[in-house]
Structure 1
Amino acid sequence: MKHLNFTLLFCVIASQFGFAQKQIELKEIWNGTFRTKVMQSVNAMANSNQYSRIEQAAKEIQEINLYDFRTLEKTNTIFNTQDFKEIKTIDSYVFDDKEEQILIGTNSQAIYRRSSLADFYLYNTLTKSFVKVAEHAIMEPTFSKDGKKIAYAYQNNLFIYDIASHKSTQITTDGLKNHVINGISDWVYEEEFSIVRMFDWSLNGDKIAYVKFDETEVPEYSMDVYGNGLYPTQDKFKYPKAGENNAIVSLHIYDLNTSKTSQVDLTEFSDFYIPRIKWTNDNNYLSVQVINRHQNDLKLFFVNGGTLEKQLILNETDKAYVDVQTLSFQPNNDFIWLSERDGHNHLYHYNREGKLINQITKGDWEVTDYYGIDAKNKTLFFQSVEQGSIYRDIYSISLNGKNKKRLTSEVGTHSAIFSPSFDVFINTFSSSVKAPRYSLKAAQTGKVIKEILNNSELESKVADYNLPKKEFVQIPTEEGVQLNAWILKPSDFDPTKQYPVFMYQYSGPGSQQVADKWFDSNDYWHAMLTQKGYIVVTVDGRGTGFRGADFKKVTQLQLGKYEVEDQISAAKYLGKQSYVDESRIGIWGWSYGGFMSSNCLLKGNDTFKMAIAVAPVINWRYYDSIYTERYMTTPQENPEGYDDNSPFTHADKLKGKYLLIHGTADDNVHVQNAMAMIETLVQKNKDFDWLIYPDRNHGIYGGNTRLQLYTKMTNFILNNL
């Protein structure tokens, strides 16, 4: 009884006087203090209704384990690094179609954002045999459908490894760095079409289709690499900037039975892209997507692998641009297609001749992911923003467009991995107040069968910091457009006081920063800033995604105009709030966000006191062809669009404090951007700060780099806002 009285008194004191809020330290953001538990490398097993996972069995031991989708019980350990000294870590793994063999990648060496070289080993789960596929690191090894061969790329050429004889056959010979690439995307395809492997096996494994890139006439970018040696070196690679020559692409089919290669006739096109190739479920036909340089006219062809004749199946056009889609074929070669043709991204059902059967989903909302079809019950599963553009939910719907059912209920962000039989799915859920958790759900009802993994320990840990909650609001522009936003206020927020505001955004076409999901590293940093007395705000302006095609594509031909107007308008709106000190509003962003924060400080020099720009595009003429021309056409066609909204054009307007940050090894947004801006500001006799990171790429990380970067930015904010 005495203990109870003491506890009550303790609570009264706590509620009246409070306790010191635990302060976030920068090092905690980067040392794993707030790391979430995740299900690593989950792959659905098509033949056994199981899923596989990489798991850490001990400090230096990894396993690939199989789990039953229904019971979630581990059924087998199929690979253990303890048994194979050649593999220290499993960087990647993939099964053959029979799920009897595994390709395991280790010792990976990153090339660009998505591409890498690695040592690959072939492990047979039945015979326990273990063999290295090649004596050197290779790229993108892929099983043939019958599991008898593996195709891979090495030094810009394609090879076929015969599993029975352990011998490799080279099927292309003209590959040469900075000239010709066979079967692997060039830099700009990898970055902007999100693809590396540009070859594919036919259904019977008797043919390989591949795209050849002739980069000979593409201008070359050279990048100094400082390293630790006495003299720096240079890395040179082909990088087509806006309006410059692209690689010349061609489509080829190699016949394993005849050892001959044939080229598909695409001579009716000029200056075009082949963003996707994929064999259909008919061994005779290869699907090929061809899109013009402006990317507003996409054609889908079926190519006969024997005769090379092609049939136009679908033609998608748009006054702005068409997004490249990944096809999903049914057993009879009908296919599911995603399109924005009605103003929102929706699912469509076509037959194998390209005739539209029906539009499956409809409404003023977007489909954001397609998970597949339960062919037996003719039911599709997808993710959408039907409950609001900042949320994600999982749905099922009949192939005929009827019987749509919401399978998730909690407000936030849901994603799914479905079992091959589509009877259950692993649901990942998080929100701005609930850390990620994984659960098994019934695909018919969405009912939770069993929890798999949660982050309750992390939630308890962050409770000590009394983190601010994101307030999701809409902020009106001066024209009355409602923009999605979130606001983080200090936990001891006092509406009678005035606070400085620090804005964060990205703003690129189709992007989204205002979403109801768990904190990332920037969120923790922003929360730390609230502990230092700042309000942090993010606004998704016009041009961002998931609110329909018109909202997204309004920025066409003039990137940086409406987006900047919206950030300035939002800042002015915030400045009118009684609790905001309108003389102390700052903004920051990375990449496109750095382009935006630079422009906001210059064009809105009466609104923003300071800005930080990390790895920003300063002149769209310096950026790559596919991305830039998708939204701007070429500089030759649209010079005003390029120049009117580039930060260097407005350098003479600088009044506030400006911090410009870039890495010298940024192969994406070249450090040339920063150097051009620095020189322009110098010649305008403007005072500003800049920080260059030697040999760091677009992500600016490695060792203590991130900690030092965010320390620098924090101090800049404290001293200038």
Structure 2
Amino acid sequence: MCQNQLFNQFFLQKFTKSLFIAFFSFALAFAQKKMVSVEDIWQKYLFYPQAVEGFNYMKNSRFYTVSEGNKIYKYETLSGKNVGLIAEIPIDFQDYEFNATEDKILLYNQGEAIYRRSFKAEYYLYDLKTQKLIQVSKNGKQSYATLSPDGSKIAFVRDNNLFLVDIATQTEIAITTNGKANQIINGATDWVYEEEFGFAQAFFWSPDSKKIAFYTFDESHVKEYNMQIWQGLYPQDYRFKYPKAGEQNAFVSISAYFLDTKQTKTIDLGAEKDIYVARLQWTRNPDVLAIRKLNRLQNKLELIHADLSKNTKQTIYTEESKTYIDIEFCEELHYLQNGKELILASEKDGFKHFYLYDINGKLIRQITKGAWEASKLVGIDEKKRLLYFTATKASPLERNLFVISLDKGSEKILLAEKGMHKITMSEDCQFFMDEFSTANTPPVYSLYEVSGKKIKDLETNSTLQKTMEGYLISPKEFFTIKTPDTELNAWQIKPHNFNPSQKYPVLMFVYGGPGSQQVENEWNPFDYFWYQHLASKGYMVVCVDNRGTGGRGEAFRKCTYGQLGKLEVQDQIQAAKYLATLPYVDASRIGIWGWSYGGYMAANCILQGNDVFKAAISVAPVTNWRFYDTIYTERYLGLPQQNPAGYDENSPNTHASKLKGKFLLIHGTSDDNVHFQNAVAFQEALIKAGKHFESFYYPNRNHGIYGGNTRLHLYQLMTDFLMRNL
């Protein structure tokens, strides 16, 4: 044997040995990693991310505050240095805010949830000079206590009435007295406004602290929904006003209370009473209110300026749509300090963008433009005439931070890192905090100068990341699916130890509702880890954003108008058929699950796609849009009296006889949002059709189905169902 042959043989032996050692080391490290259990997620809460609690910029943005327990600390923004303890509050508190002179702190504890956003609590005022804590009111818990801009008074809601407290004298007066449960609400929203327009507090201080504008809801004629609370010897009835599609809404009125005269003036909103006031705010003029009025079908939006000193009204802007105007555009209305200009959002060119108008409604300039969405306005620097916003310009899956001139030029990117950037900017636009995450990395909270230069990390979630290193994690991977009609964004989580030569069952997750997005490069803590648990059991998890979802412009989002559940279900079925063609997918074992709108979708998919889906889980689903509320349902379907086919043709109840696969239906009996009635009606339809299925109800649980060990029980239930049936 020659020398080269000897060398080659020696090298081969050494290489093979090294390769074996490397492979063995990798396999050992892989084997040492733990598999995520349902108990890890919902009992031990090992994967719960940390946030920056109680972060607030001070009036001088060179400083900010953070709460830690019952202590509030002051930090220097530029250095991130802890300047010292501002206050040690003698009670625990859930949130806080400073008054205008930053010598008093309004805070609350004992918060008691009512619905999704509404709550009541005990409010206190802490004096930093005297270190005394004063209870705002001793006459019962309050809701939404808010300091006047000058810091001298506090307004709040209690028992459907609006109250005012003078801080100096601690005198409490009732601004309204006619509030009554299930009849009249002052200063707070009714159920449907809170849920669908996204706010619960319905009173607003004028900039000069001399007036309070507020909503009044007359819901005396609105039909009640009755939920039984299952406790004690006899169940208790809980009745609340809930206007279902096509039924009567509450009558809404807008008034202003004048503190000097103690008089209330009601604003004339016009002859048509069947309207919505989607947003109410003061302009920079303390006498002028901005009212954003929508018609019942939500396809006409008016911006009205009501001058209380002159008793005049002027409609300065009107926008109409052949489908609907999305509520998020009502949120984006910003009055400049110069009192001469305003910024609003519209998708009149097919994508959401920002527009500059003068105070009388004359268009000055479209500020942002392009085949992408300007997602959220986060700051306006009036001195430099700059607007800061997040947008989908890089990808519908991402949100990056941009800046643009109000007057000319194109946008400049400030934060380009791929992922989801959520910005909290100081009022003077000198600093911002970025909550940044990706689909596979938990949030990092960082403080920046407005130029984009990082000052420091406030929270990196390093503990969670270290915990994750000890577990088997299969990353989310993004891809697209081409269907006969369009191209859809999707993500997948492959089984651990994935082998492309093997075939795996697939569980699809769906939400799919109008304007929603599940396929985003953003952290989603709990289901992400449940999917890791399923991946350890050999399941592949896939999510697809169907037509009707957000981030891709008006045409893609609004094509489902008038026919909810039709195109969305078609897309999910087509996506499943595509997955079935992949060499590593077991086409006979494709399942789907969803919650709320996703529960509606999952039910429809296993019925209308009964040759594709083997199993489905439907949690808290709408099963008949006639059962759901006016604002949401009519926005996308119109009135049931005018569009009965849109309501019925894609109701799961209509297709109950098509069930072939295994089906699990889950609902909470105290779901104030998607009523348990939906599950009852669907079960009745399935029984009538002679179909066998599984169902589970959670007593006294609302739409979120949580409390105690409820979530642990729920996810164990769903996991067991999948193990048996998929």
Q: Does 1:569 align with 2:589?
A: no
1:516 equivalent among 515, 521, 525: 521
Q: Which residue of 1 aligns with 2:11?
A: none
Q: Which residue of 1 aligns with 2:87?
A: 79
1:93, distance to aligned residue in structure 2 (A):
1.5
What aligned pairs does 1:540-555 form with structure 2 within 5 A after superposition?
540-555=545-560
**Aligned partner of residue 53 in structure 1, secondary structure:** strand
Q: Which residue of 2 aligns with 1:3?
A: none
Q: Does 1:46 align with 2:74?
A: no
**Aligned partner of residue 146 in structure 1, secondary structure:** coil
* Separation in 2, partners of 1:373, 1:76: 30
Q: Which residue of 2 aligns with 1:473?
A: 479
Q: Which residue of 2 aligns with 1:153?
A: 157
Q: Which residue of 2 aligns with 1:486?
A: 491
1:95, distance to aligned residue in structure 2 (A):
2.1
What aligned pairs does 1:179-194 form with structure 2 within 5 A after superposition?
179-194=183-198
Unaligned runs of 5+ in 2: 1-16
Counterpart of 2:39 in structure 1: which amino acid?
Answer: K
2:179 equivalent among 175, 186, 189: 175
Q: Which residue of 2 aligns with 1:28?
A: 40
1:7, distance to aligned residue in structure 2 (A):
11
* Separation in 1, partners of 2:20, 2:81: 47
Q: Which residue of 2 aligns with 1:589?
A: 594
Decide whether the 8 Å contact of 2:35 with 2:472 is kept in 1: no
* Separation in 2, partners of 1:54, 1:429: 21
1:16, distance to aligned residue in structure 2 (A):
6.0
* Separation in 2, partners of 1:138, 1:408: 41
**Aligned partner of residue 436 in structure 1, secondary structure:** strand
Decide whether the 8 Å contact of 2:472 with 2:532 is kept in 1: no
Counterpart of 1:69 in structure 2: which amino acid?
Answer: T
* Separation in 1, partners of 2:129, 2:285: 30
**Aligned partner of residue 576 in structure 2, secondary structure:** helix
Report Cα offsets for 1:414-447 as digits up to 9, x if no partner.
Answer: 1222233322222221112322212222312x23
Decide whether the 8 Å contact of 1:304 with 1:310 is kept in 2: yes
Q: Does 1:55 align with 2:68?
A: yes
Question: Structure 1 length normalisation: TM-score?
Answer: 0.95
Decide whether the 8 Å contact of 1:159 with 1:171 is kept in 2: yes
2:717 equivalent among 699, 712, 716: 712
1:366 equivalent among 351, 366, 373: 373
Q: Which residue of 2 aligns with 1:641?
A: 646
Report Cα offsets for 1:345-371 as digits up to 9, x if no partner.
Answer: 111111111111111111111111111
* Separation in 1, partners of 2:243, 2:146: 29
Counterpart of 1:13 in structure 2: which amino acid?
Answer: F
Q: Which residue of 2 aligns with 1:422?
A: 429
Counterpart of 1:387 in structure 2: which amino acid?
Answer: A
Counterpart of 1:240 in structure 2: which amino acid?
Answer: P
Counterpart of 1:442 in structure 2: which amino acid?
Answer: E
Higher mean displacement: 482-491 or 459-468: 459-468
1:284 equivalent among 283, 287, 290: 287
Counterpart of 1:45 in structure 2: which amino acid?
Answer: M
What aligned pairs does 1:661-672 form with structure 2 within 5 A after superposition?
661-672=666-677
Decide whether the 8 Å contact of 1:612 with 1:659 is kept in 2: yes
* Separation in 2, partners of 1:606, 1:711: 27
Unaligned runs of 5+ in 1: 1-5, 57-61
* Separation in 2, partners of 1:701, 1:191: 19
1:75, distance to aligned residue in structure 2 (A):
2.3
* Separation in 2, partners of 1:390, 1:152: 40
In structure 2, the CA distance between the partners of 1:213 and 1:16, relative to structure 1 (3 Å rule), is closer
Report Cα offsets for 1:546-569 as digits up to 9, x if no partner.
Answer: 100110000000100000000000
In structure 2, the CA distance between the partners of 1:7 and 1:92, relative to structure 1 (3 Å rule), is farther
**Aligned partner of residue 212 in structure 1, secondary structure:** strand
1:573, distance to aligned residue in structure 2 (A):
0.5
Decide whether the 8 Å contact of 2:125 with 2:136 is kept in 1: yes
RMSD over aligned Cα atoms: 1.6
Decide whether the 8 Å contact of 2:379 with 2:427 is kept in 1: no
Q: Which residue of 2 aligns with 1:376?
A: 383
**Aligned partner of residue 257 in structure 2, secondary structure:** strand
* Separation in 1, partners of 2:172, 2:467: 53
Decide whether the 8 Å contact of 1:198 with 1:276 is kept in 2: no
1:345 equivalent among 347, 352, 376: 352
Report Cα offsets for 1:202-229 as digits up to 9, x if no partner.
Answer: 11111111111000110000100012x2
Question: Structure 2 length normalisation: TM-score?
Answer: 0.95
Counterpart of 1:430 in structure 2: which amino acid?
Answer: S
Q: Which residue of 1 aligns with 2:116?
A: 113
1:403, distance to aligned residue in structure 2 (A):
4.7
In structure 2, the CA distance between the partners of 1:204 and 1:18, relative to structure 1 (3 Å rule), is closer
Report Cα offsets for 1:427-478 as digits up to 9, x if no partner.
Answer: 221112322212222312x232323321233223212223111110000112
Counterpart of 2:37 in structure 1: which amino acid?
Answer: E
Decide whether the 8 Å contact of 1:332 with 1:352 is kept in 2: no
Q: Which residue of 1 aligns with 2:696?
A: 691
1:609 equivalent among 597, 614, 624: 614
* Separation in 2, partners of 1:554, 1:659: 30
* Separation in 2, partners of 1:55, 1:90: 10
Counterpart of 1:33 in structure 2: which amino acid?
Answer: L
* Separation in 2, partners of 1:422, 1:69: 13
Q: Does 1:309 align with 2:312?
A: yes
Q: Which residue of 2 aligns with 1:59?
A: none
Q: Which residue of 2 aligns with 1:397?
A: 404
In structure 2, the CA distance between the partners of 1:16 and 1:622, relative to structure 1 (3 Å rule), is closer
Counterpart of 1:710 in structure 2: which amino acid?
Answer: Y
Counterpart of 2:79 in structure 1: which amino acid?
Answer: T
Q: Which residue of 1 aligns with 2:167?
A: 163
In structure 2, the CA distance between the partners of 1:702 and 1:17, relative to structure 1 (3 Å rule), is closer
1:12, distance to aligned residue in structure 2 (A):
4.7
* Separation in 1, partners of 2:19, 2:459: 35
Higher mean displacement: 341-350 or 98-107: 98-107
Decide whether the 8 Å contact of 1:359 with 1:401 is kept in 2: no
Higher mean displacement: 629-638 or 392-401: 392-401
1:8, distance to aligned residue in structure 2 (A):
10
1:127, distance to aligned residue in structure 2 (A):
3.4
Q: Which residue of 2 aligns with 1:137?
A: 141
**Aligned partner of residue 674 in structure 1, secondary structure:** helix
Higher mean displacement: 321-330 or 169-178: 321-330
Counterpart of 1:665 in structure 2: which amino acid?
Answer: S
Higher mean displacement: 363-372 or 180-189: 363-372
**Aligned partner of residue 354 in structure 1, secondary structure:** coil
Decide whether the 8 Å contact of 1:123 with 1:129 is kept in 2: yes
**Aligned partner of residue 407 in structure 1, secondary structure:** strand
Decide whether the 8 Å contact of 1:44 with 1:417 is kept in 2: no
1:17, distance to aligned residue in structure 2 (A):
6.6
In structure 2, the CA distance between the partners of 1:11 and 1:455, relative to structure 1 (3 Å rule), is farther
1:11, distance to aligned residue in structure 2 (A):
4.1
2:453 equivalent among 439, 443, 447: 447
* Separation in 2, partners of 1:78, 1:10: 58
* Separation in 1, partners of 2:549, 2:595: 15
For these two proteins, the number of residue pairs brought into alignment is: 703
Higher mean displacement: 95-104 or 519-528: 95-104
Counterpart of 1:14 in structure 2: which amino acid?
Answer: S
**Aligned partner of residue 442 in structure 2, secondary structure:** coil
Q: Which residue of 2 aligns with 1:15?
A: 26
Counterpart of 2:363 in structure 1: which amino acid?
Answer: L
1:268 equivalent among 271, 280, 284: 271
1:498 equivalent among 498, 503, 520: 503
Counterpart of 2:165 in structure 1: which amino acid?
Answer: Y
Decide whether the 8 Å contact of 1:213 with 1:248 is kept in 2: yes
In structure 2, the CA distance between the partners of 1:695 and 1:603, relative to structure 1 (3 Å rule), is same
* Separation in 1, partners of 2:480, 2:385: 39
Q: Which residue of 1 aligns with 2:584?
A: 579
1:220 equivalent among 198, 219, 224: 224
Query: Kindly, what percent of the aligned residue pairs are identical?
Result: 47
* Separation in 1, partners of 2:631, 2:321: 16
